[in-house]
A and B are shown apart, each in its own frame.
Chain A
Amino acid sequence: MQVTEYKPLIVAFCCNWCSYAGADLAGNNRLAYPADVKIIRVPCSCRVNPTFILRAFQRGADGVIICGCHPGDCHYTSGNYYTRRRMATLFSMLDFLGIERERTRVEWVSAAEGAKFAATMNEFAQKVAALGENKRLEDLRCKK
């Protein structure tokens, strides 16, 4: 482990019914993941407005991950299907602007998948740490 490794700030939006419960289960099972991950509870992944994601980056987040119920398991039957389309198009746009792909992610985590939640967070945090500080989203306008 590198001593100088960058400690990223990661915002995780978790839907109340599956992923937030999955995160709780990771806790119950004491499955560790970096403290850099901070969870915000939303009723459904479809509540996550792209503005929230941009806002997080604006305020200094290095990575944003959205977690919801698996497709087909949404508590509200179809919310995560909208999430899937919105995030696919948003992420593609961010990539189009030259923003690193690894800074954004959508993962489906059920209430039973505590291990998956921890593993996902570990992996995501590692990738974001490797990218270092989020500069591009802040710097896009300033011509060097």
Chain B
Amino acid sequence: MQRVGVFVCWCGSNIAGTVDVQAVSEALKNEPGVVFSANYQYMCSQAGQEMIKTAVKEHHLTGIVVCSCSPRMHEATFRKTAVAAGLNPYMVEIANIREQCSWVHKDVTAGTEKAIILGKAAIAKVNLNTPLTPGESPVTKRALVIGGGIAGIQTALDIADAGFPVDVVEKQPTIGGKMAQLDKTFPTLDCAACILTPKMVDVAQNDKIRIFSYSEVTDVRGFVGNFDVTIKKKARFVKEDVCTGCGACVEKCPMKKIPNEFNLGMDNRHAIYIPFAQAVPKVATIDPDACNMLKNGKCGICSKVCAAGAIDYKQKDEIIEETYGAIVVATGFNPISMEKFDEYAYSQSKDVITSLEFERLTNAAGPTAGMLVRPSDGKHPHTLVFVQCVGSRCESCAEKGKEYCSKICCMYTAKHAMLTRDKYPDTEVYVFYVDVRTPGKNFDEFYRRAVEEYGVKYVKGMVGKIVPEGDKLKVQASDLIANKQLHLDADLVVLAAAIEPDHSARPLATMLTASMDTNDFFTEAHPKLRPVESPTAGVFLSGTCQGPKDIPETVSQAGAAASKVIGLLVKDKLTGNPCVAIANELTCNGCSSCERVCPYGAISYLDKEFRMPDRTTKIRRVASVNPAVCQGCGACTVACPSGAMDLNGFMNNQIMAEVDAICK
């Protein structure tokens, strides 16, 4: 039996004005377990807390009930008092007789009556309280960054800078991501390679950072502080530590008609390839689907020309298992497919291209060495039409577009238009827009410069259809301001395709038990106050995996994610919340209902041997809760048909005791 002390607070006149505190403490004196009951002007004051401590000592109290303000206000205070008096902090219950009684009721009789009932409920609960100790778990001081684009790079550099080891997993043969494909960057027009490649080199040279390129995360287990991650390092058939990146193999490879992914298929690469000159790691990779040697054992030229002896046709996928304290998701984005937008003739004409293809077309390291020419005939285009919002803000066409604004298109289209006019003053450049959205430092000024200084023709209206005719593209569009339908003969059309999260994000979210929205963007723990954390503890978000972002925004979020990771990794131990679910192995059926409703993936199952009364043993599947992952919502307790799942601090019998006390 508990020895309970009841402490009724007057809160000056806040409570005492409507509740007869003397009557309350008198009435509660005779409740089961109560050995001491008193009231005082300000329970939360120094003197009030001393009174509690003294009573605990003098009356050997094992539980405390404070009838006072909301537990949201002073539960923490009184828990500290309990600890100071030598009690477990979870042996304290609060009866909220201020916010939920004296302040909302005017009648003293009714208020007093209710306060007594609320006190009884708290006493009934505290009688069933047990001391709780928060679990502690160690923190592995290493972080994993999934994705090696600018988001992943920046996060990794910042974490490494604080002295923690970081592994970066990138599924392509090189880090760099989408930014490596870009030409210039708005609004300052510095070249992407000039600002990105030094960072890539920093990553490569940082002794705290390991790069797993051409690799994928295949399994994640564990929880915050201790994620056990399996990484598959795909065979690239080149020894990474031996290859010097000289490129002799690439030059001699006879298979040279493989569409080059890095240039979005606008030119070809060899079966053995280095994606681009500044690739990190600068190591060749053999495409197993294209290489003759790997397909049918004939060729082997690359092996012969490699002075370093780096080629290894027998290389196998490598499985790496590592433990991490924190995981940062930086899986990035892709432009959506334009195949389904029949009206824009993307599949019919080579001269209808996406903006990312335009980037490669104008990039000095691109397929045309930066010469802006038509992909179809290599001729210089005179009339260019840029179409914005292709697939963005598309509500009716879920099967081909996206409902959201892709955010970056307005600015890069202004950039493309401006650069075209700058380099080729003989061109006519039209931009068809729905709205021009340019919030951001120096962004609107940039867009206005395109119009005012460079003579880009911005037309308010959408393009309705594009029909290839001869060597022209017949563009039919609206000019809503002039209230005219325009018919243009264009040489090149550039579509500002909506962007979507990378397809690897969805399976990764499942592995991480991190939640996603309907568009497959990762959800943040709080949209305003915790924007770089996922609801799953220890998983952080960086870059466009969380939503469309431009480079400055991505870099700032990457830094923010890094600082959250650092904040976690500096801790030696994590202290949990002891109010977590607990499974009773004896009554658990192992039916998985609880696992299905757990938002955190905190429940797993194990086959456990039980000794039966007849001395036989029986192996049963039973649930086990990871207290470091459980957040204590209690969804599992109701899903459990056998009542085997319960929640510390809010046990079934405690809540029912409260119900009984209130309804008695």
**A and B associate:** yes
Establish whether residues B635 and A79, one from each chain, have CB atoms under 8 Å apart when the complex forms: yes
Is the CB–CB distance between A82 and B113 below 8 Å?
Answer: no
Chain B residue with Cβ nearest A76: B633
Does chain B have a CB within 8 A of A128? Answer: no
- Report the bound CA distance from A76 to B99 in whole Å: 25
> Please, which residue of chain A has its CB at the minimum distance from the CB of B523?
A77
In the complex, A79 Cα to B597 Cα: how many Å? 8
Contact call A46/B72, Cβ cutoff below 8 A: no
In this complex, the member of A26, A50, A75, A76 whose beta carbon has the largest number of chain B beta carbons within 10 angstroms is A76
Chain B residues 496-546 with CB under 8 Å of chain A are 515, 523, 535
Task: Check if B339 is an interface residue, CB within 8 A of chain A.
Answer: no
Q: Can you list, as one digit per residue, whether each of A52-79 has a CB less than 8 Å from chain B (1) or not (0)?
A: 1001100111000000000000011111
* A31 contacts across to B, CB distance below 8 A: 104
Interchain nearest-CB distance for A26 vs B (Å) = 6
* 649-663 of chain B: CB within 8 A of chain A: 649-650, 652, 655-656, 658-660, 662-663
In contact, B655 and A40 (Cβ under 8 angstroms): yes
Spot the interface stretch: B114-122, B367-375, B404-412. B114-122
Identify the closest chain A residue to B658 (Cβ).
Answer: A40
- A107 interface contact, C-beta 8 A: no
How many residue pairs at the A-B interface have CB separations less than 8 Å?
130
Once the chains bind, are B70 and A35 in contact (CB under 8 Å)?
no
Q: Interface code A15-55, partner B: CB below 8 Å = 1, 0 otherwise? A: 01000110111111011110100111111101111111001
In the assembled complex, the Cα of A123 lies from the Cα of B639 at a distance in Å of 31
| B62 is an interface residue with CB less than 8 A from chain A | no
A78 with B663: CB separation less than 8 A: no
DSSP majority for the B interface? helix
Asked if B599 and A78 sit within 8 Å, CB to CB, the answer is yes
Give the complex CA separation of A55 and B96 in angstroms: 22
* Candidates B100, B107, B113, B631; contact of A27 at CB < 8 Å: B100
A101 interface residue (CB < 8 Å to B):
no
**B664: Cβ under 8 A from any A Cβ:** yes
Q: Which of B71, B103, B599 contacts A76 (CB 8 A)?
A: B599
Q: Which residues of B contact A23 (CB under 8 A)?
A: 99-100
Which among B104, B111, B650 is the interface contact of A47 at CB below 8 angstroms? B650
Contacts of A109 in B (CB 8 A): none
- Most chain B CB neighbours (cut-off 10 Å) among A11, A31, A43, A56: A43
Q: Which of A20, A39, A47, A49 contacts B633 (CB 8 A)?
A: A47
Chain B residue numbers with a CB within 8 Å of A47 are 633-635, 637-638, 647, 650, 655
- Within the assembled complex, what's the spacing in Å between the Cα atoms of A67 and B453? 59
Q: What residues on A are CB-neighbors of B176 within 8 Å?
A: none
Given contacts A24-B72, A27-B70, A79-B633, contact A35 B597 (CB under 8 A): no
A40 to B652 alpha-carbon distance, docked (Å): 13
Interface size class of A (residues with CB under 8 A): 35 or more
Would you give 26 A-B contacts (Cβ < 8 Å), ordered by A? A9-B663, A20-B70, A24-B72, A24-B73, A24-B99, A24-B100, A25-B99, A27-B100, A33-B104, A38-B118, A38-B662, A39-B96, A40-B655, A40-B662, A42-B634, A43-B632, A46-B638, A47-B635, A49-B652, A55-B659, A56-B659, A61-B659, A61-B662, A75-B633, A76-B599, A79-B633
Q: B560 near A: Cβ within 8 Å?
A: no
Cβ of A118 under 8 Å from chain B: yes
**Chain B residues positioned under 8 Å from A77 (CB to CB):** 515, 523, 535, 599
Q: Which residue of B lies closest to A47 (CB)?
A: B634
Q: Is A86 an interface residue (CB 8 A)?
A: yes
A59 contact set on B, CB distance < 8 A: 659-660, 663-664
Contact of A46 among B121, B633, B649 (CB under 8 A): B633
**Which residue on chain A has the smallest CB distance to residue B579?**
A43
Which residues between 219 and 250 of chain B lie within 8 Å of chain A, taking CB atoms?
Answer: none
Chain B contacts with A in 111-142, Cβ cutoff 8 A? 111, 113-114, 117-118, 121
In the complex with contacts A11-B662, A59-B660, A35-B110 CB distance below 8 A: yes
- Closest residue of chain A to B14 (Cβ to Cβ) is A27
- Chain B 251-292, CB-CB to A under 8 Å as 1, else 0, gives 000000000000000000000000000000000000000000
* A43 and B650 contacting across the interface, CB-CB below 8 Å: yes
B400 in the interface (beta carbon within 8 A): no
Query: Does A56 contact B663, Cβ atoms closer than 8 Å?
Result: yes
Question: How does the 8 Å CB contact mask read for B81-97 relative to A, with 1 for contact and 0 for none?
Answer: 00000000000000010
Cβ–Cβ < 8 Å partners of A86 in chain B: 638
Which residue of chain A lies nearest to B117 when distances are taken between CB atoms in the complex? A38
Given contacts A76-B631, A79-B633, contact A55 B104 (CB under 8 A): no
Question: Which chain B residue lies CB-closest to A38?
Answer: B662
Q: Is B493 an interface residue, CB under 8 A from the partner?
A: no
- Contact between chains at A38 and B114 (CB < 8 Å): yes
B105 interface residue per 8 A CB criterion: yes
Assess the B647–A43 pair: CB atoms within 8 A.
yes
* CB nearest to A30 among chain B residues: B103
- A69 to B635: give the CA distance in the assembly, Å: 14
Q: A27 with B99: in contact, given A40-B662, A43-B647 (CB under 8 Å)?
A: yes
B106 at the interface (CB under 8 A from A): yes
Q: Does B98 contact A (CB under 8 A)?
A: yes
Instruction: Give Cα A35 to B662, complex, Å.
Output: 12
Contact status B634-A11, CB under 8 Å: no
Cβ B660 vs Cβ A39 within 8 A: no
- Residues in A whose Cβ lies below 8 Å from that of B637: 47, 49
Which residue from chain A places its CB closest to the CB of B73 in the assembled complex?
A: A24
B101 at the interface (CB under 8 A from A): yes
Which residue in A9, A40, A48, A55 is a CB contact (below 8 Å) of B121?
A: A40
Q: Tell me whether A44 and B635 are in contact in the complex, defined as CB-CB below 8 angstroms, given that A55-B656, A59-B664, A78-B599 are known contacts.
A: yes
Cβ-neighbour of A26 out of B104, B111, B515, B664 (below 8 A) = B104
Measured CA separation A55–B638 after assembly (Å): 15
Interchain CB contact under 8 A, A48 and B638: yes
- C-alpha gap A23/B99 in the complex (Å): 7
Cβ contact within 8 Å between A24 and B105 = no
Q: Is the CB of A24 within 8 A of B70?
A: yes
Residues of chain A contacted by B113 (CB below 8 angstroms): 35
CB distance from B512 to the nearest CB of A (A): 14
| Interchain CA distance A26-B597 in the complex, whole Å | 32
> With the chains together, A30 CA to B346 CA distance in Å?
64
Also in contact, A46 and B634, with CB within 8 A (given A23-B100, A35-B114): yes
CA distance A86 to B640 in the complex (A): 13
**Residues of B close to A39: CB separation below 8 A:** 96, 100
Bound together, the chains give a CA A32 to CA B100 distance in angstroms of: 10
A55:B117 contact, CB within 8 angstroms: no
B104 near A21: Cβ-Cβ < 8 Å: no
